[in-house]
Structure 1
């Protein structure tokens, strides 16, 4: 497969991983950066906890996707 075909999906997956990681580490920073302009007040802590949980789920899905070929090759 050509390298250009492989690079594009890896870049997209890397961006999704980075966004998920930032949601886990600092969800308030992401909210201030991307959503504060349309809000009248800061959301509750439950909103930020749900963002962290969603970030953890995204990271777990991507790690499982990357480890799947390795796990299947060991069987």
Structure 2
């Protein structure tokens, strides 16, 4: 059973990697983002989206840990 789970996990990672690769290859238009008067240099739109995805994947679990600790302290 452990071997089947490992194969399914590897298959899922490969599928996600192929989807990300297809996304990056399809979104090569150069854009510049502006926020509060600051702007970035021209980069492919896929770079901005992938960076936003990674930042969200880091912030989400950190926030859940903070909220979980607050609930434990409040009890």
TM-score bucket of the superposed structures, by smaller chain? 0.3 to 0.5
The TM-score normalised by the length of structure 2 is: 0.37
Name which structure has the greater RCO, CA cutoff 8 Å, separation 6+: 1
The TM-score normalised by the length of structure 1 is: 0.37
Is the radius of gyration larger for structure 1 or structure 2?
Answer: 2
- The structure that is strand-richer by fraction is 2
- The structure that is helix-richer by fraction is 1
